[in-house]
Amino acid sequence: DVKVTQSSRYLVKRTGEKVFLECVQDMDHENMFWYRQDPGLGLRLIYFSYDVKMKEKGDIPEGYSVSREKKERFSLILESASTNQTSMYLCASGRYQETQYFGPGTRLLVL
Amino acid sequence: TQLLEQSPQFLSIQEGENLTVYCNSSSVFSSLQWYRQEPGEGPVLLVTVVTGGEVKKLKRLTFQFGDARKDSSLHITAAQPGDTGLYLCAGAPGANNLFFGTGTRLTVIP
């Protein structure tokens, strides 16, 4: 079975803090993705990566950056957290971009 | 932006009933995926359909891809409380990315 793990299930941060969310997959997938999920808005793509050190902006990259130094690990960084970044963050990976396997999610609260 | 509309948004039924949820778009997709998401968890891939008119069965779940590859349906027979969750469809217009619908939230009452 594909396993995608995320570093935290729940996280509480203060406005202005730098936040790191980490994602690790064990299936040697080339593609990895970060989404946020909000009620009524569905899943929105923040960034994705199709190879080590490669990244592409998704639909809502503002306020976020990513890092992929190793194939199995994809990190999402909130440079200066704001309250409107309170959300559920989902990481996914896949050999092909159209079939993605998700981690359990990180529920982030920014106060 | 590819728009995927799911209906109904919310569905509450009694255990043992049948139901169908729909995923519609004006765009053509090379493939379409269905996921189920339980509260507090990430979506879990249920099925991928790639051929127009294709029907796939997964136990009590039947998935159909429209002939024109613009829409899909999920039919559940004899729903059980374990089927409760958010059902998401996602379409791939090509080899890049997925576009997700906003989901159908299903509650099956024992």
pLDDT at B110: 95
Check if the beta carbon of residue B67 is closer than 8 Å to that of residue A68: no
Predicted local distance difference test score (pLDDT) of residue B1: 52
For A50-65, write each residue's pLDDT tens digit.
999 899 999 899 999 9
B18-27 pLDDT, tens digit each: 999 999 999 8
| pLDDT at residue A10, rounded to an integer | 96
For residue A103, the chain B residues in CB contact (below 8 A) are: 42
pLDDT tens digits, residue range B31-44? 899 999 998 899 99
The alpha-carbon gap from A101 to the nearest alpha carbon of chain B, in Å, equals: 7
Chain segment A16-35, per-residue pLDDT in tens: 999 999 999 999 999 999 99
Res B83: pLDDT: 96
| pLDDT on residue B2 | 55
Spatial distance between the Cα atoms of A90 and A36, rounded to a whole number of angstroms? 6
User: Which residues in chain A are contacts of B96 at CB distance < 8 A?
Assistant: 97
The closest alpha carbon to A93, from A78, A109, A73, belongs to: A73
B38 interface with A at CB cutoff 8 Å: no
State chain B's mean pLDDT as an integer: 92
pLDDT of residue B95: 62
Mean pLDDT, residues B59-83 taken together = 96
Query: In a mutagenesis test of the B interface, which of A43, A91, A95, A109 is the best target, namely the one with the most B β-carbons within 10 Å?
Result: A43
Query: What tens digit of pLDDT does each residue of A75-108 get?
Result: 999 999 999 999 999 999 988 767 889 999 999 9
Find chain B residues with C-beta within 8 A of A9's C-beta: 40
Considering only the beta carbons, identify the residue of A4, A99, A103 that sits closest to B33.
Answer: A99
C-alpha of B101 from chain center: 9
Q: Rounded distance, CA A111 to CA B42, Å?
A: 24
Average pLDDT over residues B54-79: 96
